[in-house]
A = this chain, B = another copy of it.
Amino acid sequence: MNRKQLIEEIFSKKSFLCVGLDTDTKKIPEHLLNTDDPIFEFNRAIIDATAPYCVAYKPNLAFYESAGLKGMAAFERTITYLTEAYPNHFVIADAKRGDIGNTSSMYARTFFEEYRLDAVTVAPYMGEDSVMPFLEYAGKWVILLALTSNKGSRDFQLTADAKGERLFEKVLQTSQHWGNDENMMYVVGATQGKMFEDIRRIVPNHFLLVPGVGAQGGSLHEVCRFGLNKDCGLLVNSSRGIIYADNTPAFASAAAEKARELQQEMAEELAGIR
């Protein structure tokens, strides 16, 4: 999905919500555990219930890999279901990959050719040649970690160089030479508050993928105040707050309700810019 299509989806649905499919068999409703593929059954119900309120889905690979081959089979079924039943939703593999060039090429092949996903999250530590192989696919996106939502983001990402440029700023600046706002987004945690202002100074037009609203404590309004641009420019992710809203057989409608609440807040924010 290209930038123009994504923006159209956002304004037509009045939503920039991304639902994080961090599906853990230890947390899903018990009645699903008797089915052949509990992870997929859970995902399908969540997807069907939340699709009207969101523009993107983001399965985190860790949750599928930890369930072994069964988990990866459930991941593949989920992706296939999404691309067939909801072709207008943007699908992100949250994988945080990044390796030397020939290995990153293998990861790119997996996510873009094998799974036909729209985007993959990539860690910047290994630099240019670890990221470039992902940018060789037309219509596909790299979502590079810039300033993450977790406590450990302070350990290295905020370290300033001799000129006062912090590492996350250097990542934003340097990666401008690798891609552009048509094939690159950045991860910026919702917990980072006013740092969004500093980030928008460097990347005014890029989309930002924003985790950390909800369970991790970030505020949607705060994120919008500093992060929205004229094209919206945000995909705000919520995982646990939506998918685990309830663990009875009514879990999917509870998830839909949480997604709808966020969508309505987002509609208000979007009304302010267009």
Contact = CB atoms under 8 A, between A and B. Distances in A.
B110 A66 contact: yes
Interface stretch (A100-108, A200-208, A223-231, A260-268): A100-108
Interface in A98-146: 98-101, 103-104, 106-107, 109-110, 114, 123-131, 145
A66 B114 contact: yes
Contacts of A106: 24, 62-63, 65-66
Contacts of A104: 62
Given A96-B123, A125-B124, A130 B152 contact: yes
Contacts of A159: 161, 167, 170
Contacts of A164: 162
Interface in A138-177: 145, 148-157, 159-162, 164, 167, 170-171, 174
Contact of A150 (B73, B100, B153): B100
A15 interface: no
A39 to B, nearest CB: 13
Interface residues of A, number: 57
A162 B162 CA distance: 4
A250 interface: no
Contact of A69 (B69, B152, B155): B69
Given A156-B170, A171-B156, A22 B150 contact: no
A73 B62 contact: no
Given A125-B156, A126-B153, A68 B76 contact: yes
A62 B99 contact: yes
A72 interface: yes
Contacts of A60: 99, 103
* Most B-side CB within 10 Å, residue of A130, A160, A164: A130
B114 A148 contact: no
B97 A62 contact: yes
Contact of A156 (B62, B127, B211): B127
A125 B24 CA distance: 25
Nearest to A60: B103
Contacts of A107: 62, 65-66
A14 to B, nearest CB: 29
Interface string A62-90: 11011011001100100000000000000
5 contacts: A63-B103, A125-B148, A125-B157, A126-B152, A156-B171
Interface of A: 22, 24, 60, 62-63, 65-66, 68-69, 72-73, 76, 94, 96-101, 103-104, 106-107, 109-110, 114, 123-131, 145, 148-157, 159-162, 164, 167, 170-171, 174, 211, 216
